[in-house]
Chains A and B, each alone.
Chain A
Amino acid sequence: MLKRLLLASALCAAAATQALAQTPVKIGVLNDRSGVYADISGEGSVAAARMAVEDFKAAEKGLKVEIVAADHQNKPDVGASIARQWYDRDGVDAIFDVPTSSVALAINQVTREKNKAFINSGAGTADLTGPQCSPNTVHWTYDTVALGNGTGGAMVKRGGSTWFFLTADYAFGQALQRDTTEVVVRNGGKVIGAVKTPFPTADFSSFLLQAQGSGAKVIGLANAGGDTINAIKQAAEFGITEGGQAIAGLLIFSSDIHALTPKVAQGLVLTEPFYWDLNDATRSFSDRFAKQAGGKKPTAVQAGVYAGVIHYLKAVEALKSASDGGKVVAKMKDLPTDDPLFGKGTIRPDGRKIHDMYLFEVKKPAESKGPWDLYKTLATIPGADAFRPLNQGNCPLVNKS
């Protein structure tokens, strides 16, 4: 239904400007539309992609852009088969978003095989620009290394020298714990314990009690979505922060904090590449976005889809063709990036998009002026320091010298 609607609207837009010679571009937004990550990405990412096409004035620049969308249900097999169908049968040129690391790694493979383009915004694993890097992939928004760097480093500097991890027991959680541990140790901290929690978990009280008993100064949450929300809610209930221990949420989005409310989440330190209230450009974008998304402000992932689509279209415009995904991604790496949400940046040879990351603290209820007034900025982490250095990722595309 939605697909048809989008198709129809794109066709109408195309019909209006038929006078120009048109380069056809078909964009697929593939993400979670019904599960735990549906609020982080979902329909909002599709709206963001649509806004990007409008703002780029694609039709005036001779691009006939069409957007399709689908639900990968957080399952790699489902995601891979949709991607194959899109590339083989439906003529999709590029896939955007794709949260859930396991699905993203599968799409990474398929895209390379078919020589299309994959601009990831939603997934965390830094392996996408590490051992599994591909000439057809750009990793836009964030990754596990940047998260660990930001939050891990900041917490140790604030005196959080001993850590206890609550780690979601699957690939993503373990990668996040691994990358954060490295940062903690490098900054002189120590990890004194960890517990692997089944995914998903509703009741964290038992694990929180173990963390409390360990006496660690920081409890690191290497999980995401509903797990993180439950863990933070219950940590407040058990008086963890009142007892002098700090909670470090390693992957948290503004939509999670909105759901928790500042009353429960106050004082939490976290790292994000985007927040709606950063500057005039992000505020005006977010207001427009909210009108299309039932009043919700965009998450970093949705912002990443917007910025990714703009930059992708820039490259297609320069090449006057979207058919060779490898060439388009190479062009994307050549061109400097510039968009209202992430500012000026670059894309490295390994596919890593470089921009600043921000260290935020959740406001106290008294400081928060509205349901979406959530963060205050503690520090800006310059792009050059935020991500893993180019030569340390074991990416085969990078010459080690």
Chain B
Amino acid sequence: MPTIFGVPMQALFGQLLLGLINGSFYAILSLGLAIIFGLLNIINFTHGAQYMMGAFVAWMMLNYAGLGYWWALLLAPIVVGIFGVILERLLISRLYKLDHLYGLLLTFGLALIIQGLFRNEYGVSGLPYAIPSELSGGQRLPFMFLPNYRGWVVVASLVVCIATWLVIEKTKLGAYLRAATENPTLVQAFGVNVPLLLTLTYGFGVALAAFAGVLAAPVYSVNPNMGADIIIVVFAVVVIGGMGSILGSIVTGFTLGLIEGLTKVFYPEASSTVIFVIMVLVLLVKPAGLFGRTA
């Protein structure tokens, strides 16, 4: 069997595929963060908590209302998105004129409170959430066993990412959005309701996080701390891609998933740090990030 650095080619393919799957989560989450930062200039530290809420809402729908996975995939992002809209109206909208730091502190504080409330109610061991029956089982590929659900995760996240990108780059609404990012005062002068645009954008970014949360519920432990661990990595992804760059966040999300996957084969101990090492290197060479524009 052909090998690369002592690792069989086949094993390597498997690991690359797994990396791509993890990259899917990074991509959706960093996409939401990038949209929010691009338009609102808010560093949304509540993103991890909102991802966790997506998973919990899916669990609640199943256990309290009997709604299964597919309903949750549709409804949980809407529910959590509405929660995001309320947050934006009540609290975040008051901070637009202030320094970034205030937004960061507010959203970080909110994340701690939300996580604490869920922890108090549901404990830390996590809640069970089964893979939907349509997607259970798997395919025996020549180089690995691929659970159907993991394949679905890649497809779903690619579709969502590409659709979001198309809306922002190719539609009129997207044009308003991009214009408001460039110069909100001017756009408002043309009669566009910019505050509403900001609120809806935040709601959409939050809904993306919740969508990722529902996707994650069947494979990861649904527990109040699930967002706290992943959010730091996702921030690194956004920084590497370039703060506020939509395409950058999608591409770096998937790419870093792949790189992390490779690290897990060659030097597993470093797999939790490799993304941060890359972040340092990118910041040294290109401070605005790979896809970012220098201000």
Contacts and interface: CB of A to CB of B under 8 A. Distances in A.
Contacts of A36: 124, 225
Nearest to A197: B268
Of A34, A196, A205, A260, most buried by chain B (CB within 10 Å of CB) is A205
A interface bracket (residues with beta carbon within 8 Å of B):
35 or more
A226 interface: yes
A296 B124 CA distance: 13
Given A237-B147, A239-B145, A39 B125 contact: yes
A259 B123 CA distance: 10
B261 interface: yes
Nearest to A242: B145
Given A229-B125, A229-B221, A206 B147 contact: no
A289 to B, nearest CB: 15
A259 B127 contact: yes
Contacts of A197: 268
Contacts of A213: 8, 11
A196 B268 CA distance: 6
25 contacts: A34-B116, A38-B119, A38-B123, A38-B124, A39-B124, A39-B125, A169-B269, A196-B268, A196-B269, A202-B220, A206-B261, A206-B268, A209-B11, A209-B14, A209-B18, A212-B145, A213-B11, A229-B125, A237-B149, A237-B219, A239-B147, A259-B125, A259-B127, A263-B128, A263-B130
A212 B140 CA distance: 13
Contacts of A198: 268-269, 271-273
A202 B125 contact: no
B265 A206 contact: yes
Of B11, B18, B223, B268, most buried by chain A (CB within 10 Å of CB) is B268
Interface in A218-244: 225-226, 229-230, 233-234, 237-239, 243
A44 to B, nearest CB: 10
A370 B272 CA distance: 38
Contacts of B223: 226
Contacts, number: 103
B124 A35 contact: yes
Interface in A183-205: 195-198, 200-203, 205
B104 interface: no
A68 interface: no
A282 interface: no
A35 B228 CA distance: 12
Q: Can you list the 6 inter-chain pairs with the closest CB atoms, starting with the nearest?
A: A198-B272, A259-B125, A206-B264, A261-B128, A39-B125, A39-B123
Nearest to B125: A259
A22 interface: no
Interface string B149-168: 11000000000000000000
A346 interface: no
A210 B264 CA distance: 9
Interface of B: 8, 11, 14-15, 18-19, 21-22, 116, 119, 123-128, 130-131, 138, 144-145, 147, 149-150, 219-221, 223, 225-226, 229-230, 261, 264-265, 268-269, 271-273
Of A34, A36, A261, most buried by chain B (CB within 10 Å of CB) is A34
Given A196-B268, A230-B221, A206 B18 contact: yes
Of A201, A239, A259, A263, most buried by chain B (CB within 10 Å of CB) is A259
A117 interface: no
Given A36-B225, A39-B125, A207 B264 contact: yes
A256 interface: yes
B149 A195 contact: no
Contacts of A230: 220-221
A125 B269 CA distance: 22
Of A201, A213, A255, most buried by chain B (CB within 10 Å of CB) is A213
A234 B219 contact: yes
Of B8, B125, B272, most buried by chain A (CB within 10 Å of CB) is B125
Nearest to B233: A202
A207 B128 CA distance: 22
Contacts of A196: 268-269
Contacts of A261: 128
Nearest to A255: B125
A160 B2 CA distance: 30
